[in-house]
Amino acid sequence: MNVLKDKKAWLIFILPALIFYLGTVFVPIIQSLKYSFQQWNGIQEPAYIGFDNYIAMFKDSYFWNSVQNNLVYVVIVVFMQVFIGLFFALMLSYVTKGAGIFRTLYYLPAVVVTVAIAQMFRNFYSLQPLGLLNMFLDWVGLSHLQSAWLSNPHTALIAVSIPEGWRFIGMYMVIFYAALIAIPKEIEEAATIDGVSGWQLIRYIKLPSIMHVLSLSLIMCTTGALRGFDIPYIIGVPGSATELVTTYMYKQAFSTIQYGYGSSIAVFIVIESLLAVLLIRAIFNSRKGDA
């Protein structure tokens, strides 16, 4: 089929997408790398300073604090999205009537504008005026636990992590649900005949069958949380309590206008995400070896 081998036509089909992709995704990455070796405030000429930005970054306690916060954020978000999402999907896989409607509605928070979610939770956590959570505590007689959840430095980080975790539970649920109902019925039936039931069926048949989807979701979710930005940026408190690596990078770049330093943090985020992907894949591959 010479028509399908036509190199010129192939280029015409590929090039527009490739140019867009290179220009808006890859060229900026290379430029970030270049800027990360420069000192530049956008006004004076950029000056090459070697690894100085990276050295400054590793000595910057505020930066390390944001890395630490980011890890807490990742743990909360991954727990909510992957584990609770998996739990919801397992529940739903036993539902016979109306599963489609439940699935559609569970996904709803994922389509709502982030700013709306953030403001909704700001109201929810608020103490003055009394927000939903504090009203609820009052209602169940736990008014002594009332707090301004977002401005209390002990709870602020958890408070900004929960909305992000919550909004995408439905998305991961949809993914797991699709994988669960794709498990061939014969496998389940054979196991049931062999006397496997309930929890064992989930533990030894269902979860191993969707391992591939689980590992992919864990990668998606972890890298997503490592670059988490919107909600902590919008409702996070001034100071360090809710600072994540991305929000710190953003402020360094666009508030204090240190393009070089900001770029070195951006490069750190890319490397950190790649390491997370490799780590998760290594864990899943070694477990495959055990079985």
Partner 1 sequence: MLATKKLSSSLLYILVIAILLIQIYPVVWLMLSSFKSSIELTTQPFAMPSSWSFENYASVFRESSLLLYIKNTAIVTFACLALIIFLSATAGFALVKMINRLNSKLLLFFTIGIMIPIQVTLIPLFIMYKDYGLLNSYPALILPQVGFALPLSILIFTSFYRYVPGELLEAAVIDGCNIYQVFFRIVSPLTINTTITVASINFIFIWNDFVFSNTFTNDKAYKTIAVGLQEFIGAFGATDWGQTFAAISISIIPIIVTYLFLNKYVMAGVSDGAVKG
291: helix, strand or coil: coil
Residue 54 CB partners (closer than 8 Å, separation 6+): 36, 264
The answer to whether 102 and 95 have CB atoms below 8 angstroms apart is yes
What is the nearest approach in angstroms of partner 1 to the Cβ of residue 145? 18
Of 49, 75, 213, 280, the one binding partner 1 (CB under 8 A) is 213
What is the nearest approach in angstroms of partner 1 to the Cβ of residue 134? 11
Of 223, 240, 280, 281, the one binding partner 1 (CB under 8 A) is 223
CA distance 227 to 247: 9
> Phi and psi (nearest 5°) for 200?
-60, -40
- The span from the first CA to the last CA of the chain, in angstroms, equals 46
Under rule CB under 8 A, residue 221 binds partner 1: no
The answer to whether 163 and 149 have CB atoms below 8 angstroms apart is no
Q: Please give the residues from 225 up to 254 whose contact with partner 1 meets the rule CB under 8 A.
A: 226-227, 229-230, 234, 246, 249-250, 253-254
> With respect to partner 1, which residue has the nearer C-beta, 65 or 114?
114
Under rule CB under 8 A, residue 17 binds partner 1: yes
Under rule CB under 8 A, residue 20 binds partner 1: yes
What is the nearest approach in angstroms of partner 1 to the Cβ of residue 222? 11
Q: Please give the residues from 146 up to 175 whose contact with partner 1 meets the rule CB under 8 A.
A: 166, 169-171, 174-175
> With respect to partner 1, which residue has the nearer C-beta, 160 or 174?
174
What is the nearest approach in angstroms of partner 1 to the Cβ of residue 107? 7
What is the nearest approach in angstroms of partner 1 to the Cβ of residue 120? 6
Detail the DSSP E strand segments found in the chain: 38-39, 47-48
CA distance 119 to 264: 31
